[in-house]
Structure formats: structure tokens, C-alpha cells
């Protein structure tokens, strides 16, 4: 499959399935990781056929995430099977009770992997031809278990996700309360050659890439390496944690790796990703001392950059810049087509040639429910009371006023 095919916008069916069509498939519900393990290899096969598949939708990522962040969460994964018992769709949901929107505790249905600020690009993979019936089955089941959740919030969805588009469309048709938003992401689309990549940079940045590399090699014994063995993981990650924390603590902030829970997640995840040939954990050493580390992974012809750290005492050496340039050079040689910075569009990403993109967010609830009213309340700060009164159905407006009064808004 080409890179263009892998990122193509998937066409949506023009009509929703009939109830008869929905009856030709089966939905299995998985409530534990052990149960979910039974479809692990079928899940792999489904992802191999899904053009928008990424590391964040794999068993390796989601099972590891669940093992470390499942506290106070309840698993509800829907598997769609065709008449030949082939897995043709996976909706990996989880329910948690949280103080939603700072208003009141609610039972929130999210995609598995969401809620710890570690995952991006979460999705509901589905085989071609089953998109509409998949969306139908998802919402049908969510109605059946409506006593278990109040609000559904699906974050960092790929904008071309067919399941997301059809769920949103069906929510509107059925009168569910639905709000959509976007968040920014950015990625570099890599050419076939290193020279071609450099030509796309500004003259200043192109000059700096070569200048800082030459200067660093002239001043130090420089080693740049990729973690390729399990017995290397501990030292690479220890350096990443220390460098990342040192940088943020030096600026008076907490950093991502102050939590032992997250550090354990990265250790176990690295082992799993390395076993699949997906780990992209790189380090730059000066005189055998770790000075910069980048943690990422690949899936198909796309590489994802998740975390990094560098020695903040060596800012003038630009060790992070030198390491990234060498990683990009190697990725181009290995025919990686996209270097994905994931969420955010910081200026430094643009200087590397990254283009802005976006993720899609869906927030919805059944009509005339507490969850629907809370979604409207959370919009109140943006739209104002007058806008809400003009746009909400009268029944929903009355319920909203009742809940707002109850929570003291």
C-alpha cells in the first residue's frame, strides 16, 4: 500500500444500513483485557487493511496503556464480526468517573488510551464496506448501556476517520446532543532524498543543520545510536526521564515523567514496540554521556515523535537539533514518508518543515439527559446564555436550568 493510499480520505456511504443489514453482523462486547486478548491477532489483521491505522490503535499500545492507567476505568470494547466471523470493526471504549468540565462528576465514555495525556490519533478501525453498519451498531449499543455513561468524548480522532464521521452524522439525525471541535497537530512530509528535504527548509535552518553538526563533532566525541536490543532500553529511558525532567524542572515546571506510573508505562511499551520492530528510541552521547534522547515509534511508512529530552546545560551545543537531523536523515534513507510531531504546532516544528493539520473531537450524549445538559452547560462559557436559549430545544433548556441551579452555576 502506498503512502498516498494509506492517508487517503475514505469515502462515506450515502445511506445508513437498514435494521436487516445490521442483523447480518454480530457485535461482541469485551469487558476485560483477558477477553480482549482473544481477538489480538484478528485485530492485527484488521489494522493491516485499515488505511488510517497507527501505533495508537494497536494491541501493543492500548493493552500496555490499559495495564498502567486502567485504575477507576471500566473497559467496554465493541468488536464487529461479519457472517464468516471475521473481525471487521473495533470500537475500544472505556468509562471513567471524572469531574467533567469542572462542573460535576460524570461517567465519561472515552476511547481506550485517552485520559492520561499519552495518546494521540485514537480511532475506531473498520473494514471497507462495513463503515455504516459499524456506526449503527456502536450507537445502538451505547443506547443499550446508557445507564453506564453520561457523556461520550472522543478526542484526537483522525479527520478522515469514517467511523467518526458516520457517528456524528447519525447523532445529528437521531437528535442526540453533539458538539464538534478540532485540535492542532503537525507533521513533516518527507521527500525521497536528504538533499530534497534540506531544499525545503529556510536558508538559515538549512545552514544551521550542517553548521551545528560539524561544530559538535569538532568539539566532542559524538555517538548517535538507535536502541535495538531489550537490554539497552533501561539506560536509554533512564536518560530520557532525567533529561526531560531536568529541562522542565529548570524552567519551574513538572515535566511528564515525574510519575512512576508513566515511567513504567514507557518501559513496558518499549519492550512491546521493540519486539514488533516499531520502536524508534534514539540517543546522542558526548564522550559516552547521554545528552539528548528522542522517544518515538513507527507504523508502516510513518514515524511518530512522542517525547524527548536534552541536557539543558548544553543549549549552545544544540544537541537536540543534531540528533533530530540525524534521525530524519536515517528515516528518509529507510523510506519513511511522514515524520509526525503529533499534537501541537510549535514554531520549532514548523522550522523543521512541519505542516499544520488537525484532529477531530466529538462530544455527544443522548437527548434530554443529564449528560446532554452538562454538554450545553460547558458551552455556556463560550456561547453565552442568550445563544443557548435560542439554540436549545425547550425541553433541554428547562433541564439545563434545573441542573445549572443544582450545581450552583
The β-bridge relationship of strands 338-343 and 302-310 is: parallel
Neighbouring C-beta atoms of residue 407, cutoff 10 Å: 10
Interatomic CA distance for residues 394 and 254, integer angstroms: 46
236 contacts: CB under 8 Å, gap ≥ 6: 227, 281, 283, 290, 293
Pair 345, 186: CB distance under 8 Å: yes
Tell me, what's the pLDDT at 255? 74
Helix axis angle for 230-250 and 260-276, nearest 10°, is 140
Place of cell 471504549: 93
- To which H or E segment does residue 263 belong? helix 260-276
DSSP letter string over 306-372? EEEEE-GGGGGGTHHHHHHHHHHHHHHHTT--EEEEEE---HHHHHTT-EEEEEEEEEEE-TTSHHH
Cell numbers placing 382: 463560550
Interatomic CA distance for residues 61 and 69, integer angstroms: 12
Length in residues, the chain: 409
| Residues 189, 192, 194, 198, CA torsion sign | negative
Pair 169, 339: CB distance under 8 Å: no
129 contacts: CB under 8 Å, gap ≥ 6: none
DSSP letter string over 97-138? EEEETTTEEEEEEEETT-SSS---S----B-TT-HHHHHHHH
Pair 113, 57: CB distance under 8 Å: no
Cα 139 to Cα 146, 151, 163, 173: the distances in Å are 10, 13, 11, 12
Q: Which tens digit of pLDDT belongs to each residue from 299-316?
A: 999 999 999 999 988 889
Output DSSP code: residue 391: H
The dihedral region occupied by 402, where left means phi > 0, alpha psi between -120 and 50, and beta the remainder, is: alpha
The closest of 163, 184, 171, 168 to 50, measured between CA atoms, is 163
Tell me, what's the pLDDT at 10? 43
The closest of 171, 194, 283, 183 to 238, measured between CA atoms, is 283
Q: 3-state class of 10 per DSSP? A: coil
Low-confidence ranges of the chain (pLDDT < 70): 1-23, 247-254, 380-409
Interatomic CA distance for residues 245 and 251, integer angstroms: 10
Tell me, what's the pLDDT at 138? 97
Q: 3-state class of 86 per DSSP? A: coil
> Structure pTM?
0.87
Q: What domains lie within the chain, and their CATH numbers? A: 3-183+359-366 (3.40.630.30), 191-336 (3.40.630.30)
Tell me, what's the pLDDT at 256? 82
226 contacts: CB under 8 Å, gap ≥ 6: 280, 281, 282, 330
Half-sphere exposure of residue 77: CA atoms within 13 angstroms, side-chain side = 28
Tell me, what's the pLDDT at 407? 44
Pair 131, 91: CB distance under 8 Å: no
233 contacts: CB under 8 Å, gap ≥ 6: 227, 267, 270, 271, 274, 281
Cell numbers placing 384: 453565552
Tell me, what's the pLDDT at 17? 54
Interatomic CA distance for residues 118 and 259, integer angstroms: 12
383 contacts: CB under 8 Å, gap ≥ 6: 391
Tell me, what's the pLDDT at 101? 74
Tell me, what's the pLDDT at 104? 76
Amino acid at each position: 500500500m502506498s503512502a498516498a493510499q494509506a492517508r487517503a480520505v475514505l469515502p462515506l456511504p450515502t445511506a445508513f444500513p437498514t435494521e436487516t443489514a445490521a442483523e447480518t453482523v454480530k457485535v461482541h462486547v469485551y469487558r476485560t483485557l483477558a477477553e480482549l486478548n482473544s481477538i489480538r491477532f484478528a485485530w492485527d489483521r484488521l489494522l493491516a487493511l485499515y488505511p488510517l491505522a497507527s501505533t495508537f490503535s494497536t494491541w501493543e499500545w492500548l493493552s500496555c496503556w490499559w495495564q498502567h492507567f486502567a485504575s477507576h476505568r471500566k473497559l467496554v470494547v465493541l468488536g464487529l464480526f461479519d457472517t464468516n466471523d471475521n473481525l471487521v470493526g473495533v470500537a475500544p471504549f472505556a468509562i471513567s468517573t471524572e469531574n467533567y468540565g469542572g462542573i460535576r462528576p460524570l461517567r465519561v465514555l472515552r476511547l481506550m488510551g485517552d485520559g492520561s495525556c499519552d495518546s494521540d490519533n485514537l480511532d475506531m478501525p473498520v473494514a471497507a464496506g462495513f463503515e455504516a453498519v459499524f456506526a449503527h451498531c456502536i450507537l445502538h449499543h451505547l443506547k443499550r448501556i446508557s445507564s453506564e455513561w453520561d457523556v461520550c468524548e472522543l478526542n484526537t480522532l483522525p479527520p478522515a476517520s469514517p467511523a467518526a464521521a458516520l457517528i456524528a452524522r447519525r447523532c445529528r439525525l437521531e437528535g442526540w446532543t453533539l458538539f464538534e471541535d478540532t485540535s492542532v497537530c503537525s507533521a513533516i512530509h518527507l521527500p525521497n532524498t536528504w538533499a530534497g528535504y534540506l531544499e525545503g527548509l529556510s536558508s538559515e535552518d538549512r545552514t544551521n543543520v550542517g553548521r551545528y553538526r560539524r561544530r559538535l563533532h569538532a568539539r566532542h566525541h559524538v555517538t548517535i545510536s538507535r536502541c535495538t536490543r531489550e537490554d539497552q532500553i533501561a539506560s536509554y529511558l533512564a536518560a530520557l526521564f532525567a533529561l526531560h525532567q531536568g529541562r522542565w524542572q529548570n524552567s519551574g515546571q513538572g515535566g511528564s515523567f515525574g510519575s512512576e506510573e508513566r515511567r513504567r508505562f514507557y518501559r513496558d511499551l518499549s519492550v512491546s514496540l521493540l519486539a514488533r520492530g516499531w520502536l524508534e528510541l534514539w540517543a546522542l552521547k558526548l564522550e559516552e554521556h547521554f545528552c539528548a534522547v528522542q522517544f518515538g515509534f513507527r507504523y508502516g511508512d510513518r514515524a511518530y515523535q512522542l517525547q524527548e529530552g536534552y541536557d539543558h546545560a548544553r543549549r549552545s551545543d544544540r544537541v537536540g537539533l543534531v540528533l533530530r537531523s540525524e534521525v530524519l536523515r536515517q528515516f528518509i534513507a529507510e523510506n519513511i514518508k511522514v515524520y509526525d510531531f503529533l499534537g501541537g504546532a510549535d514554531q520549532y516544528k514548523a522550522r523543521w518543515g512541519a505542516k499544520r493539520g488537525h484532529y477531530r473531537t466529538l462530544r455527544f450524549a443522548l437527548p434530554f439527559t443529564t449528560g446532554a445538559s452538562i454538554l450545553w452547560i460547558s458551552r455556556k462559557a463560550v456561547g453565552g446564555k442568550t445563544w443557548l436559549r435560542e439554540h436549545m430545544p425547550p425541553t433541554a433548556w428547562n433541564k439545563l436550568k434545573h441542573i445549572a441551579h443544582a450545581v450552583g452555576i
